[in-house]
Amino acid sequence: MTNPKVDFYFNKDSNWKKEFEALRRIVLDCGLNEELKWGEPCYVYDKANIVLIHGFKDYCALLFFKGALLKDANGILIQQTQNVQAARQIRFTSITKILELKSVLKAYIFEAIEVEKAGLKVKLKKTEEFNFPIEFQKKLDQNPALKTAFEALSPGRQRGYIFYFSQAKQSTTREKRVEKYLEKILNGKGLDD
């Protein structure tokens, strides 16, 4: 059943309007509840996020929150970046492809619902399993207050900083990023807080 709070997303002018509508019909045919989360149509089963519809410049996609646990018999799930641990996308550039894959998409959605019903969880890496940028590690070693503050952050906030610092290719850029965010870490804030 459609949710009026989500209708605006499908009514707005978009390059993917037809594709979004087709994806919406397919997902709703699978018996999920439609909600608005993160400004996107999100489909839930028993309060658990199953799949999200979203669009980008070059494609639109179905994002499976626990896609890493799906069998992916058709080899169509995509891990957006190497740092994404659980979610997987199926990307589309035309309504034709969506309609061709309608029964496959429904099978993936039903499998995702079964994963949720079974209570399966994606085994996420612990923060200490990620490669710490040496520039950040030096700061932690030199500043006990910084180390204590960083360790007090939630694992998600810790990973956010590690990813952000690590993405810089040059050591000087990593150093600048670390310096810029020292105060936020000391104040117990996440990267985007």
pLDDT score, position 128? 67
Q: How far apart are CA 72 and CA 28, in angstroms?
A: 21
Rounded to two decimals, the pTM is 0.73
28 phi and psi angles, rounded to 5 deg: -65, -30
Task: Give the pLDDT of residue 122.
Answer: 86
Are residues 36 and 5 in contact, defined by beta-carbon separation less than 8 angstroms? yes
181 phi, psi to nearest 5 deg:
-105, 5
| Tokens coding 60 | 């639109």
pLDDT digits (tens, 9 = 90+) for 162-172: 888 988 889 99
Q: Which residues make Cβ contacts (< 8 Å) with residue 61, sequence separation at least 6? A: 53, 54, 55, 89, 90, 91, 92
The domain locations on the chain are 7-117, 127-186
DSSP code of residue 3? -
Strand 88-92, strand 40-45: pairing:
unpaired
What confidence score (pLDDT) does residue 166 get? 85
- Joined together, the tokens standing for residue 128 give 């200490």
Question: What is the tens place of the pLDDT at every residue in 89-144?
Answer: 999 999 999 999 999 999 999 999 999 999 999 887 776 667 788 999 999 999 99
CATH architecture designation of domain 7-117: Alpha-Beta Complex (3.90)
